């Protein structure tokens, strides 16, 4: 697989990941370039005009929108999108530095090698937050793609997605989220390895299955208890607060069941925020 065509110098850095998917190239290509397919593994809302110069928009509700332009389109082989960062271009300070996402596909006989290269980042510290964000995000999203294509291809998904912004350090929020006030797991999720069995419990929910990936303050797994759903729990530091993200992407589940899960998790996060407020009031008394 060739490197992106845009010249990269030592002053640039990039995220590069490759994974094998047990699906043919046509299915992988469609998952990358069809809006309905994108919504089955990636952003909850997507638009794509699959032609050079066409617009791509990946949208996570009110939380984040990611508009791009198709720069290279080689059906079944390569897709490149381009977008502007928020950082001034070192070569022309009147414009923001462009960033690029390349998808390369190779394979046959029902198996595809997908490589994702996200490039254009400078070495300056001003790029660190965005580079760190995509370096955490792509390994999660690509595992979601693989799970969809290998186990749920062609099925719509139902998402229980709860978020909250909490004015406490990540380590404290993580402890509460996985303690008696949240998912009383009794496990050190951050030390688990791919393939390990996990369990999460609260009074009305029990999730169990196999771990996909663990990083500090991030846990992804296959929830076998919910029809091989994709589970992600992550905490991100943002503007002095901790953003909590709990995501369960289900396939073939009753929508009302998934909605009930989200309502319970929303209530759990409200309880954590309320407990935080009560503690702050007690300290100020």
- The pLDDT score that the predictor gives to residue 86 is 80
In CATH, 157-279 is 3.30.530.20: yes
Dist. CA 32–CA 138, nearest whole Å:
14
The average pLDDT across 13-39 equals 97
Could you state, in order of their start, the residue ranges of all structural domains in the chain? 12-151, 157-279
CA–CA gap between residue 200 and residue 184 (Å, rounded): 6
Mean pLDDT of 220-226: 97
The answer to whether the 12-151 and 157-279 domains have the same CATH topology is yes
Q: Is residue 4 pLDDT above 80, yes or no?
A: no
12-151, CATH topology level:
Alpha-D-Glucose-1,6-Bisphosphate; Chain A, domain 4 (3.30.530)
Alpha carbon distance 198, 133 (integer Å): 26
* Average pLDDT of the residues in 147-157: 98
150 HSE (CA, 13 A, CB side): 16
Q: How many CB atoms lie within 10 A of CB 129?
A: 12
Q: Is the pLDDT of residue 5 over 50?
A: no
- Cross-strand pairs, 205: 202
Cβ neighbour number for residue 250 with a 10 Å cutoff: 24
Q: How far apart are the first and last CA of the chain?
A: 63
> What integer best gives the mean pLDDT of the chain?
90
């Amino acid at each position: 697989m060739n490197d992106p065509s845009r010249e990269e110098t030592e002053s640039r850095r990039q995220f590069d990941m490759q994974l094998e998917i047990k699906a043919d190239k046509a299915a992988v290509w469609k998952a990358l370039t069809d809006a309905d397919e994108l919504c089955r593994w990636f952003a909850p809302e997507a638009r794509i005009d699959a032609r050079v110069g066409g617009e791509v928009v990946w949208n996570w509700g009110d939380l984040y929108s990611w508009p791009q332009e198709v720069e290279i389109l080689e059906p079944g082989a390569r897709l490149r999108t381009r977008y502007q960062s928020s950082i001034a271009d070192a070569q022309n300070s009147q414009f923001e530095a462009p960033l690029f996402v390349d998808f390369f596909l190779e394979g046959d006989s029902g198996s595809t090698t997908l490589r994702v290269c996200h490039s254009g980042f400078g070495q300056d510290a001003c790029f660190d937050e965005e580079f760190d964000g995509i370096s955490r995000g792509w390994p999660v999203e690509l595992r979601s793609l693989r799970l969809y294509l290998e186990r749920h291809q062609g099925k719509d998904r139902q998402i229980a997605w709860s978020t909250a912004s909490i004015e406490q350090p990540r380590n404290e929020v993580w402890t509460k989220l996985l303690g008696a006030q949240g998912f009383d797991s009794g496990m050190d999720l951050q030390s688990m390895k791919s393939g390990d069995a996990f369990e999460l419990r609260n009074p009305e929910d029990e999730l169990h299955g196999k771990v996909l990936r663990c990083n500090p303050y991030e846990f992804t797994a296959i929830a076998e208890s919910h029809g091989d759903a994709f589970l992600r729990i992550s905490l991100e530091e943002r503007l002095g607060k901790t953003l909590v993200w709990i995501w369960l992407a289900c396939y073939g589940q009753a929508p009302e069941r998934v909605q009930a899960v989200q309502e319970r998790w929303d209530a759990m996060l409200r309880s954590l925020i309320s407990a935080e407020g009560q503690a702050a009031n007690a300290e100020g008394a």
